[in-house]
Amino acid sequence: MTTHEAAYHGSLIADALAMPVHWYYDRDALDRDYPDLQDYRAPHPHHPDSILWRSDFTPFNEKAEILHEQAAFWGQKNIHYHQNLKAGENTVNFKLARLLYEQVSALGQYDSTAWITLYIEKMRTPGWHRDTYLEEYHRAFFNRYAQGKPLLKCGISDEHIGGLATVPALLAALPAGDHRKCVKTHVALTHRHSNLLRAADCLARLLQEISTGISLHQALMTAAGDWFSTRKAEAWSHQADRHVIGQRFSPACYIDQAFPAALYLAWKYHDNFPAAVIANAQVGGDSCHRGAVVGSLVAAEFYRKNGSFDLNPFPHSD
């Protein structure tokens, strides 16, 4: 295992742990539905904050059909976004991360066209993913694809943190070296927003610095200054996580809030991977996608200090 491989697995673990409480904004409901969230859980069918009842997707034609049998649940209230997943399973963006890791590892390099071709193939295959909800970027990409846009030009200016889900996987699959340009090229295929690309570059730089032996705290000071203040983090560290990510930062998915919120949790829990990903899940909001940052950075730091990483830090409760 390498530092980047530990980071990749850390991101998958963080996503799987947060999956049942993903996009919970009512924290009382989160605590009621998933008390003492300390291990992998299967989601309850009912989700109190689900927006599926007001979500809509009309495929341009059959080439944009990516919801498959899950389309029947759109427009209904309180449907869990990940209702079909089992305890410990990954959500669709992290299934894509695993797919990317496998492809790049097999090829020995990153190929944008090969990746987009595989992305289209898998998303259009019924049963490949079992998530009920798919983010806006997927829906927009496939409608643009169905309209005949060039494969590498179907992405939109999306600024949601879900765009970072595949970054740790890509770095883990590539040979050693500086791959920040490659990361930005990859992320821009689906998320062309300048802030999202800045965050992707920052995450790549942080992970690369940790892989050279620099501590997570030091890397945050030198490589994330435009996103994160260690001085403020120190001042906030005595406050409850739900206050910091609730009052200082929003728990929502927009990158300008979600990325520094994730960096804060990684900074605070830098020496305790299970505590980091549990805290990330328990603050609610877009916890799965913040997990790409929290899980990867803290796992990388753990590997840097210990030369190992536990791939099974949590049991399955059901």
* pLDDT tens readout for residues 58-107: 999 999 999 999 999 999 999 999 999 999 999 999 999 999 999 999 99
Find out whether 92 and 125 touch, Cβ atoms under 8 Å: no
Place 314 in a pLDDT band, splitting at 50, 70 and 90: confident
User: Percentage of the chain with pLDDT > 70?
Assistant: 99
pLDDT on residue 36:
86
pLDDT in tens, 148-192: 999 999 999 999 999 999 999 999 999 988 999 999 999 999 999
The pLDDT of residue 117? 98
Q: Which residues pair with 316 in a beta bridge?
A: 40
Q: Beta partners for 40?
A: 316
What type of residue sits at position 313?
Answer: P
**Residue 297 token pair:** 């950075």
Q: Which of 18, 293, 5, 20 is nearest to 162 (CA)?
A: 293
Note the pLDDT of residue 176: 87
Q: Where are the alpha helices (DSSP H) in the chain?
A: 3-18, 27-33, 92-107, 112-123, 136-146, 167-173, 180-187, 194-211, 216-223, 230-236, 241-243, 255-268, 273-282, 287-306
Question: How far is residue 205's CA from residue 160's CA, in Å, rounded to a whole number?
Answer: 19
Measure the CA–CA gap between 15 and 293, rounded to whole angstroms.
Answer: 10
CA distances 110 to 10, 92, 102, 183, 293, Å, are 21, 21, 11, 10, 21
Question: Over the stretch 12-65, which tens digit does the pLDDT of each residue have?
Answer: 999 999 999 999 999 999 999 999 899 999 999 999 999 999 998 999 999 999
Q: How many CA atoms lie within 13 A of 307 on its CB side?
A: 0
Query: Whose CA is closest to 173, among 161, 163, 154, 186?
Result: 186
CB 202 within 8 A of CB 256: no
Banded pLDDT at 316 (limits 50, 70, 90): low
pLDDT at residue 138 is higher than 90: yes
Rounded to whole angstroms, the Cα distance separating 128 from 68 reads 10
Once rounded to an integer, what is the mean pLDDT over residues 291-302? Answer: 98
d(Cα 237, Cα 276) in Å, to the nearest integer?
Answer: 14
DSSP state of 79: B
Give the count of beta carbons closer than 10 Å to the beta carbon of residue 234. 11
What was the pLDDT predicted at 97?
98
**Could you give all domains of the chain from N- to C-terminal order, each with its CATH number?**
3-306 (1.10.4080.10)
Classify residue 201 as exposed, middle or buried by CB count within 10 Å of its CB (0-12, 13-18, 19+). middle
Spatial distance between the Cα atoms of 199 and 180, rounded to a whole number of angstroms: 11
Instruction: Give the H/E segment covering residue 23.
Output: none
Q: pTM (2 decimals)?
A: 0.97
Residue 210 has which token pair? 């940790």
| pLDDT tens by residue, 194-213 | 999 999 999 999 999 999 99
